[in-house]
Structure 1
Amino acid sequence: MAPVGVQTLFHPTGERATSKVFGELGLPYTLSTASSTGFAEVAASNGAGNPRWYQLYWPSDDDLTRSYLLTAKENGYEVLVVTVDTWDLGWRTRDLDRGFLPFINGVGVQIGLEDPVAHQKLGFNPLAANATAEQKQTAALYHTITTSRGVSPTWRNLWKLREVWGDAPILLKGVQSVADARAALDWGLDGVILSNHGGRQIDGAIGSLDALPAIVEAVKGKLAIGFDGGIRSGADIFKALALGADFVQLGRPILWGLAHEGEKSVRHVLKSLLAEFEITVGLVGCSSLEDVNESLLVKNRR
C-alpha cells in the first residue's frame, strides 16, 4: 500500500478498511503522516504480526519527529518511509479552485492530534472531552504547518532519524534521479522509492517509469528500489519488476475501491490486481518471479 492520507474522505472506514485487507493478505501497509486514523487503531485493524511501514512527512520540530517515530515503533511499524519531495505543497490548481485543504477541517491530522509531545507544546489535549473547537483547529494547524515545513530536508540531518529508528530499514520516497539514488546509498539508506507524488508536486515532472532503468543500473542491487508511479494493472506490476524494481506500491486503485464500497471493494481491487499479475507472469512464460527480467519487454523505439 502506498502512503495515502485522508482516507476517510473516500469512505468512513478509511485506513481501518485498507489496512485490514492488506493485513489479511500479508502485504506491507504504509501509513501516511496525513492519516485520518491514528497509529494504534490502524495497527489493530491491520492485525498482529503483519508488515507495517510508516511514511514520515518530516516535521520541522525535532521533538515532534522523535515522538512520531517512537509511537510508530511502539505500534509495530517496521520500515520508515521518508517523503522528501513534499516538504512544501506544490501549486495544485484543482485544489486551489476547490479550496481543498482537509487538514484545516481536522481530517488527515489524527497522528498530530493524538501525539503527547504536541499536547505538551500546545498546552492542551485537543481530543479531551472539554477541548474547544478553536483548540482542535489550532492542533490541526500545528500538525499541518510542522509537517509541511517549507524547509527542505537535508542529507546531513538523516542521523536524527537513524538515532531514533535504529538499524531498522529507512527508505527515501520521491527519488527520481541517479544522483539522489547514489547519495542515498552513500548516506547509508536502505532503499529508495521512485515517485513524483502522483504528478501533484511539479507540473511536467519526469515519470517514475522513465527514471527507473537508470537508477537500477546506478545502484546495482545495493539499495532496495520501490516503484510508486501509476500502477493500474497486474501487467503494470510486471513491467516495473521486469525493469528492476524490487516492489511496487499501490495508491489510486485501492482508493477507488475504498470509495466505491469500502473494505469489500478494496479487497476486490487488490485480489484482482494480484490475480492479473500472477496470470501475466505465467502467460509471459515465467515459472517464478526470479524469471521476470528486462529481456521480456520490448522498448518502444522513437
Structure 2
Amino acid sequence: MFKKIYSPVQKVSFAPFNHLSVKRDDLIDPYISGNKWRKLKYILAKAKAGNKTHLVTFGGAYSNHLVATAAAAARSGLKSTAFVRGEAVKNEMLLLCSLFGMELIFTDRESYRDRHKLFESRFADNAEVCFVDEGGASVEATLGCAEIIGELTETYDHIFCAAGTGTTAAGLLKGLQEQQLPTKLHIVPVLKGGAFIGDEIARYTTTDKQLELHLDYHFGGYAKTTPELIHFIKTFTAQTGLLLDPVYTAKMFYAICDLEKRGQLHRDERILAIHTGGLMGLFGMRDKF
C-alpha cells in the first residue's frame, strides 16, 4: 500500500520571508499523514516480510500515530492493538482508531513507562505480532524519512522540522548526508528539556555541525500552548491558508520567524519547512481557540 509518493513543495508568502517553502507531507493522506506515513512505510514492509499479522503500538489519547497505525493496518489486512497512556476516555481520535479496527488497552502512566514489558505481558508468545514503538521510532522509520530529501528538486540553505522523538530528524540528516548536501538542518524539539533528541538522532546517524537544535520553542512542554502561540497560528493560517497543529508545526514556524527577528536567519535565504501533518491534533485543543 505504501507506493512511492512525492508530496508537493509549496512556496508560502509570509512576512518577512522572501523564500519560504513548505514540504506538504500533510497532504499525503488524511489519516496516515506526514511523517507518520514515512515512518510506517518500512515498518509495514518488514512486518509483511516477517509474516506478521498484528501490529501492537503505543501512544496517548490524542496520538496521530495511533490513528495512522490503525488506518495502515486496516488497509494492509492486519490487526492492530494500542496501549493508550492514561485513563479510559472517548474522543475523536480514538473513535477513528476503533473504526479502523484497533483494539485499545488503556494503561496507567507508570506501567506505560516500560513499553517492552507491557508488550511482553500480553504478546510474548505470539510470533505473528509486530512491536511498533511509540511514534514509530525505529531504524525503518528513519529510512522512510530520509526519502524526503531525495524528493527535493531544489537546494535550500536551511531545512526546519519539529521533533518529538528525533526519528524524523535522524532520517532527514541521513538524507542530507547521503545526498552530500551542505544544507543546515534545524530541529525544533516540542518537549521541555528536548536536548535528549540530539542523543536520539545520534542513535541512527552521525551528528555534526550540519545539525542544530533549538530548545526554546516548546511553549511549556509537549502539547502545551500559550496565548502567544495560538495567536501566531491564527495569524499564520489567515495569511497563508496553511493549517498548523499546536503540538508540532506551529512551534516550528514560530521558531523560524523568531530566529529571523534575532538575526540568525536572513529573509533572503532559502528555507524549507517540513509540514509533518498531525492536524487532527487540533481536535484536542479546540478550547484554546
Instruction: Classify the TM-score, shorter chain.
Output: 0.3 to 0.5
Higher strand share: 2
Under a length normalisation based on structure 1, what TM-score does the superposition of the two structures give? Answer: 0.32
Higher helix share: 1
Higher RCO, 1 vs 2 (CA within 8 Å, ≥6 residues apart) = 2
